[in-house]
Amino acid sequence: MSLRKITIVAASLVLMLGASSANAQIYKNGLIDKTIALIGNESIYLSQLEEQVQLMMANGTATQDEKLMRCQILESTLQQKLFLNQAKMDSLTISTDMVESELAGRVDQVMYRLGGQKEVEEYFHKPLFRLKEDWRAVLGEQNLIGQEQRQIVSAVPNLTPSEVRRFYKRVDKDSLPEISTQYRLRHIVLYPAKEDAVMAVKERLLEFRQRVLNGEKFSSLAALYSDDKESALRGGELGMAPKNMFWPAFSDAAMSLKEGQISQIIETPDGFHLIQMIEKNGDMFNARHLLLKPKFSSENREECFKRLDSLKEAILIDSITFERAALLFSKDPKTFLNGGQMVDENTGAIYFEKDQLNPADYNMIKDLKIGEISVPFESQGNEGRGNTIYKIIRLEEIVPSHRADVDKDFVAVQNFAHSVEQEKAIKRFIEEKQKSTFIRIDEMFRDCPFQSKGWVK
């Protein structure tokens, strides 16, 4: 099992007490709780495995092959016990803040999938406070397990350049990561005049709010006028969901409303909203909203396009370089100082794959040749989900898709080689602990296709 898979399974595995009868047909003699594995001083119960299956079904992550799924859960649990035992021996301590954050996220996810607190308690046959206690205990163990895993892999030294090249020579080239086609780009960005458009949106929303107060249905107005087309089909209704799924300004305003009450105008990175509360349940709520985004006039758009056209023409006749024009005229605060060089905000990389670009940007550059400049076009900024901007782009370089090459993609090969060594360290740890730890697997799971053969002795 790869390090990535082990880590993901360890981070997602939540074991709870209490057996589920829904899957009794999997077992010949029905579902009777019993010890299905002993590992060191720890026992693993059938009820725990079945609760994990139940949780995966609630989260929509269950697989069709239920027997194989149970075998994978059991092996993951056995691996966790090895890491947990070592974490205790190493005197590692639980990060309480991280556990509470993960617990809140897990509760929100399950409540969202099942529809609310009442549905969760009926599904798991336990009150929510008891579920939280069970989950908190296991998340605490997972936190220790994660720390132990990180401690193991952190001991793997970084490879030197010569070691990376030796790795590259002997590795199966087909196993190396595929590097997708990448683009290096520069752009010059202009923003539309916002004040008039925002004022028009606010006036429109005030009109809608008054119409609702005068007796019109909020749902009818949302269906006709909301810029959130998905919720508009439901009369603006969002569905019961945890408050942290929304922008803070939106959820704060919604949670302050009484049922049936309508908010004042709320601004988020998506635009401007009116909210009508339908129902609240703890930290969850169901509300309707009507979203309007500022619409910019065709005159403003044409003015920006003319300025960009003029800049492009000046660049083409060598009156000014693209870099100089970006420095003097681009309104993008993140790129104008470096001559319009587009940079990934998360990684700092200057090469973009297709999926990392806004669709409008990719559609504009996909047919350009290196060095060519696009016509002015409308695109979207990074803030929120749709701030309008106008821009031109110059295609600087295209790197075709290819297997990672040690000369062209040294960092990618180095990272891959390091991950291989980390996986080996995890595998060695498991194999060593299997030899020195008492392990007994119940016969009903002895025929599982475990990836590691040391579980059944």
Return d(Cα 318, Cα 412) in angstroms, integer: 38
- CATH fold, domain 195-292, is Chitinase A; domain 3 (3.10.50)
Return d(Cα 242, Cα 390) in angstroms, integer: 35
Return d(Cα 425, Cα 430) in angstroms, integer: 9
pLDDT tens, 196-251?
889 999 999 999 999 999 999 999 999 999 999 999 999 999 988 888 889 999 99
Q: Which residue has the tokens 């990180």?
A: 150
Return d(Cα 227, Cα 271) in angstroms, integer: 9
**CATH number of 3-159+418-455, picked from 3.40.50, 1.10.150, 1.10.287, 1.10.4030:** 1.10.4030
Return d(Cα 311, Cα 304) in angstroms, integer: 11
Q: Which two tokens stand for residue 301?
A: 């758009």
Predicted confidence at residue 31, as pLDDT, reads 58
pTM higher than the cut 0.75: no
Q: Are 18 and 124 in contact (CB under 8 A)?
A: yes
Write out the residue limits of the CATH 3.10.50.40 domain(s) in the chain.
182-192+297-403, 195-292
- CATH fold, domain 182-192+297-403, is Chitinase A; domain 3 (3.10.50)
pLDDT tens, 113-134?
888 888 889 988 889 999 999 8
Buried b (16+ CB within 10 A) or exposed e, 342-366: beeeeeeebbbbeebbeeebbebbe
Q: Which residue has the tokens 């985004």?
A: 293
**DSSP 8-state code for residue 398:** E
Predicted confidence at residue 386, as pLDDT, reads 53
Q: Are 74 and 447 in contact (CB under 8 A)?
A: no
Q: Which two tokens stand for residue 101?
A: 């954050």
Q: Are 409 and 179 in contact (CB under 8 A)?
A: yes
Q: Which residue has the tokens 């090249």?
A: 165
Report the chain (457 residues): mean pLDDT per 10 consecutive residues: 34 34 48 84 88 80 82 94 92 92 88 86 90 92 94 94 96 94 96 86 96 96 95 93 90 95 94 95 91 87 94 96 96 93 86 91 95 94 68 96 91 94 95 93 92 87
Question: How many residues can be counted in the chain?
Answer: 457
Write out the residue limits of the CATH 1.10.4030 domain(s) in the chain.
3-159+418-455
- The closest alpha carbon to 73, from 450, 325, 454, belongs to 450
Predicted confidence at residue 170, as pLDDT, reads 95
Q: Which two tokens stand for residue 262?
A: 């309508």
